[in-house]
Amino acid sequence: MKHFILGAVAAVCTTAAQAQNWDMPTPYGDATFHTQNIAQFADDVRDATGGSLDITLHSAGSLFPHAEIKGAIRNRSVPIGEFFLSRLSNEDLAYGIDSQPFVATSYDDAARLWTAQEPVITELLAAQGLMPLFSVPWPAQGLYTNGEIATVEGLNGLRFRAYNAALEEFATLAGAAPVQIEASDIPQAFSTGQVEAMITSPSTGVNSTAWDFVTHYTPINAWVPKNIVVVNQRMFDGLDADTQAAVLAAAEAAEIRGWEMSAAEAETMTATLAENGIAVYEPSAELVAGLQSIGATMLDNWNAAASDSAKAILETYNN
């Protein structure tokens, strides 16, 4: 009897030692399609491993603020997390090429750009003990303002919400005043007058109920930036082979599903903006020309500062 009990206790301990709970911080809210895609990824991993790897999502920056998520994965405060890829452009411009205006403006171009970018940033992240699992784009970025914007001069002097260094540079070149604001803080930033215009996706416009604080939206479709999900390599290596395979398979499915969700939202969320009273208009030729000229200046600046590996991404993409 005693042996039997001891045996049972040992069996329970073995299972307990093998089962793992992973906390996963993400920056965006639960209504965001990226978050929903990641929730499905976590479910897939849980199902495929019979619950032995249980990933708990902490959305909207609730566990770590956006700016700290990558560092938290690196120092193993958490094994896995999501962030906006081009936020790392201060480390190497290779991370930020998807946020340069008019480099890749369609999903096809964005997919080709990712094919060129992925091996380069995989190597950069590996040097920090990090491994990318999957990356998913936002719908192409559009312009939200009060009143229609006919030319770039119309942006002069506006307090402009920014989410990375490239958008800050863009706003500055347009004569606007950039203010860095997290996506979940957009409604408050507008209601308190901190900002009065922004460039973001129709998804983020809908998730932040943009009709409460702007009247006009134009799909300038200037860039297609991505989120990325990254795992700490040592934590991943600590999983048994079957669990590793389950994570990689779920990640591959999440990347495919996420790109499809993004393309679907580009249409449905633009329609939702209009249904809620936002005037959706096509940008004038003058506005597009002005934005393209800013993009050309930014690309010159990018090329002047980019590492060789960053420049190699553009060469691969352009050839």
Residues that bind ligand PCA (CB under 6 A): 84, 138, 141, 163, 183, 200-201, 203-204, 225
Measured from the Cβ of residue 78, the count of other Cβ atoms closer than 10 Å reads 21
Closest distance to ligand PCA from the beta carbon of 207 (Å): 8
For residue 255, give Cα distances in angstroms to 148, 175, 250.
36, 37, 9
When the beta carbons of 274 and 289 are compared against ligand PCA, the nearer one is 274
Contact 56, 22 (CB under 8 A): yes
When the beta carbons of 125 and 186 are compared against ligand PCA, the nearer one is 186
> For residue 258, how many C-alpha atoms fall within 13 Å in the half-sphere facing its CB?
26
**Which residue's structure tokens are 């069996």?**
11
**Which residue's structure tokens are 């995989």?**
122
When the beta carbons of 10 and 264 are compared against ligand PCA, the nearer one is 264
When the beta carbons of 66 and 216 are compared against ligand PCA, the nearer one is 66
Pick the closest to residue 62 from 72, 54, 52 (CA basis).
72
Closest distance to ligand PCA from the beta carbon of 265 (Å): 10
Closest distance to ligand PCA from the beta carbon of 112 (Å): 20
User: What whole-number distance in Å separates Cα of residue 158 and Cα of residue 160?
Assistant: 6
Closest distance to ligand PCA from the beta carbon of 165 (Å): 13
Closest distance to ligand PCA from the beta carbon of 178 (Å): 13
When the beta carbons of 214 and 247 are compared against ligand PCA, the nearer one is 214
The β-bridge partners of 55 are 22
When the beta carbons of 53 and 97 are compared against ligand PCA, the nearer one is 97
**Residue 10 in 3-state DSSP?**
helix
Closest distance to ligand PCA from the beta carbon of 141 (Å): 6
Residue sitting closest to ligand PCA (CB) = 201
For residue 291, give Cα distances in angstroms to 130, 160, 235, 263, 277.
35, 15, 44, 23, 26
